[in-house]
Chains A and B, each alone.
Chain A
Amino acid sequence: MIELTDVHKSFGTNHVLRGVNLSVPKGESMVVIGGSGTGKSILIKSILGLVIPETGTITLDGRDVHKGDRDAFLARFGMLFQGAALFDSLPVWQNVAFRLLRGSLKKPKEEAREIAIEKLRRVGLTADVADRLPAELSGGMQKRVGLARAIAAEPEIIFFDEPTTGLDPIMAGVINDLIREIVTEMGATAITITHDMTSVRAIADKIAMLHAGKIRWTGPVSDMDTSDDPYVDQFIHGRAEGPIEAVR
């Protein structure tokens, strides 16, 4: 269980998170929605310790995420970044097997390569991309390589930061289906950040809406259309008129 209690984070005068409270039980797929610049990425980066909140607590299974063995903590996570964040200088298979080639999860090179190719197959890529450089791949293929890297070490918890941004609708559908399948298959806890309502419906068990630095609404995906919250309603229908200002 991931639990955030009264988490605050500011950058100068910009108060991004203003008391976030959120619980994500083990095995649940939580999707965080909200307008651009509302702090969704900062939220997951705070959980990972990439950003340190000023106040509030973040716990994983009751333990403060900012204390204890960092390597052991991070080994439980996989993350798909918005732009895939593949390492330009490494071929695709070494990107996927990055964690398996070094550190506490290190495996022999041949075994790591086999696992990488198997994970690439799992996300619909053939073995011939394994030796290519990330720059030689399309945006959709890079996202899938990023996804393969996120699941390579079979983590318990996976974060997806805007997994379908910049992809065509068909490729976005492929990524959504892959995420849903992988999360279900692995029994992983997932937090996904997205603006894409198709993704929300495909991926989520539960939804949390972040607005003005706080969780505005949270509930099962089945309740989203009948939430009676004007903010949620405006967001999911993409209306310019409503309580959320279009010009921010």
Chain B
Amino acid sequence: MSALLASIGAAVLGFLAAIGRLALFTGQTVSHLVRPPFYGREFGNALLQIGYFSLPVVGLTAFFTGGALALQIYSGGARFSAEAVVPQIVAIGMVRELGPVLVGLMIAARVTSSIAAEIATMKVTEQIDALVTLSTHPMKYLTLPRVLAATLVMPLLVGVGDIIGIYGGYIVGTERLGFNAAAYLQNTADFLEPLDIISSLVKGAVFGFIAALMGCYYGMNSDRGAMGVGRATKSSVVAAAILILAANFLLTEAFFSA
């Protein structure tokens, strides 16, 4: 019995310690925002890598999801003669929920893994130590530019994803399901409210912050060797995906619970 209690206690303490380490890491990252120097070139590179180069993945994901959503709503709605709501449900579904979540998860897969693997490899090959000996703070040089870039660029990616997702629904709706093009667009525009769009963009910013932060955190805390790099990469993606889904629930609750 005491062994069981001890193992439960150790697990709880380990969990609390991990939360503490992550909170400290987050605090340190944010604190570097207001402490010079700021590495603009690294920030620019991060914007390019996280934002611009993610556009194809985001666009394809959103397009196919929007199209599939239109088909699902049409066939599901047919059960209670509600086929006509396809434009409205595609719009609200993409903007409020699927756009930010799917873009967030795709960024976790593409960007979080890449950041974690890159920083973990830098740690294993002593490049992080080299940065310190060259009077460069690794948090300022590696973490802050990536986290800031992801936080700022993700709302744009989510916005693009929302538009392409709605366009995917529009293509399926007009070409496959026989909707009138002008009426489809009109219904979409009429139904969306500013709060839907604001919530989508805010979710994007929060998910971007989480995705980049997890990549940096696990990269910086990687164990030595190829296994360490692999474990850091895997853990970063898992943690980012779970935190994005958890944050999505909390933000949805905050925006739409009333």
Contact = CB atoms under 8 A, between A and B. Distances in A.
Closest 8 CB pairs of A and B: A85-B130, A85-B126, A74-B135, A79-B133, A81-B126, A71-B135, A99-B134, A85-B127
A104 interface: yes
B126 A102 contact: no
B127 A87 contact: yes
**Which one of A75, A98, A105 has the highest number of Cβ atoms from chain B below 10 Å of its Cβ?**
A98
Contacts of B127: 85-88
Interface residues of A, number: 25
Given A102-B37, A103-B37, A74 B133 contact: yes
A203 B242 CA distance: 54
Interface of A: 45, 48-50, 70-71, 74-75, 77-79, 81-83, 85-88, 98-99, 102-105, 149
Contacts of B129: 45, 50, 81, 85
**Which one of B127, B132, B133 has the highest number of Cβ atoms from chain A below 10 Å of its Cβ?**
B133
A48 B130 CA distance: 11
B139 to A, nearest CB: 13
A99 B135 contact: yes
Interface string B100-126: 000000000000000000000010011
B136 interface: yes
B133 A50 contact: yes
Contacts of B132: 48-50, 74
Nearest to A74: B135
B133 A102 contact: no
A39 B166 CA distance: 60
B135 A75 contact: yes
Contact of A82 (B37, B122, B126, B136): B126
B39 interface: yes
Nearest to B133: A79
Contacts of B130: 79, 81, 85-87
Given A85-B125, A85-B127, A104 B135 contact: yes
Given A87-B122, A103-B135, 15 more contacts: A49-B132, A70-B135, A74-B132, A74-B134, A77-B133, A85-B129, A85-B130, A86-B130, A87-B127, A87-B130, A98-B134, A99-B134, A102-B37, A103-B136, A104-B135
A88 B125 CA distance: 10
17 contacts: A45-B129, A50-B129, A74-B132, A74-B133, A75-B135, A79-B130, A79-B133, A81-B129, A83-B125, A85-B127, A85-B129, A87-B122, A88-B127, A98-B136, A102-B39, A104-B135, A149-B134
A16 to B, nearest CB: 15
A53 B12 CA distance: 29
A13 B234 CA distance: 28
A48 B37 CA distance: 21
Nearest to A98: B134
Contacts of A48: 132-133
A75 B134 CA distance: 7
A98 B41 CA distance: 13
Interface in B134-165: 134-136
A79 B134 CA distance: 9
B125 A102 contact: no
A225 to B, nearest CB: 33
A53 B136 CA distance: 22
B253 to A, nearest CB: 41
Contacts of B122: 87
